[in-house]
Amino acid sequence: MSELVLTLLRLGFLVLLWSLVLVTVVVLRRDLRAPRDARPLVAAPVPRTSGRPAKAAKPRTEKPAKPSRTGPRSLVVVEGPLAGTVIPLGTADVTLGRAPDSTLVLDDDYASNNHSRISQVNGSWVVTDLGSTNGTWVDRARISTPTPLAVGQQLKVGRTVLELRR
């Protein structure tokens, strides 16, 4: 083979290798930026029903607890960009994260969109990590399961530290 053909083959091989690297980088970037709870691309099968209307779902037997007069009444941001913010606690869940529909929207690079949830279960407040990247911390311990939150305990989400108060 001539020198020209060998040079063209080498250049073609080099272009092929670089295009493979570029495609790999693009795919990795797209996968890393995808939300954790993204739905699969394949739709779930729809169950077939007869012509009858569906029965109404049974109401939940577990009723939300009423706010306690002696228990915690507020969640206070003690450290971070939103320091001093007070969130009154009622019966509704409090969600923390960067998503605009969160109860407390955090402008924090270390917080996930849906980072954690604080809910009332059987009269006590429980914090649950919602699969965040950097974790949810209660009194300097990373939590992986729903954890009870007592008055005065500190909850860390990203760079924001919150405290349950009466």
Listed as ranges, residues in the chain with pLDDT below 50 are: 37-44, 46, 60-65, 67
Q: Could you tell me the residue ranges of all domains in the chain?
A: 1-34, 74-165
Please state which CATH class domain 74-165 belongs to: mainly beta
User: d(Cα 66, Cα 9) in Å, to the nearest integer?
Assistant: 76
pLDDT score at 34:
56
pLDDT score at 73:
82
pLDDT score at 42:
45
Q: What is the pTM of this model?
A: 0.56
With residue 96 as reference, give the H or E element that holds it: strand 94-97
The answer to whether 54 and 39 are in contact (CB under 8 A) is: no
pLDDT score at 69:
56
pLDDT score at 14:
97
pLDDT score at 109:
86
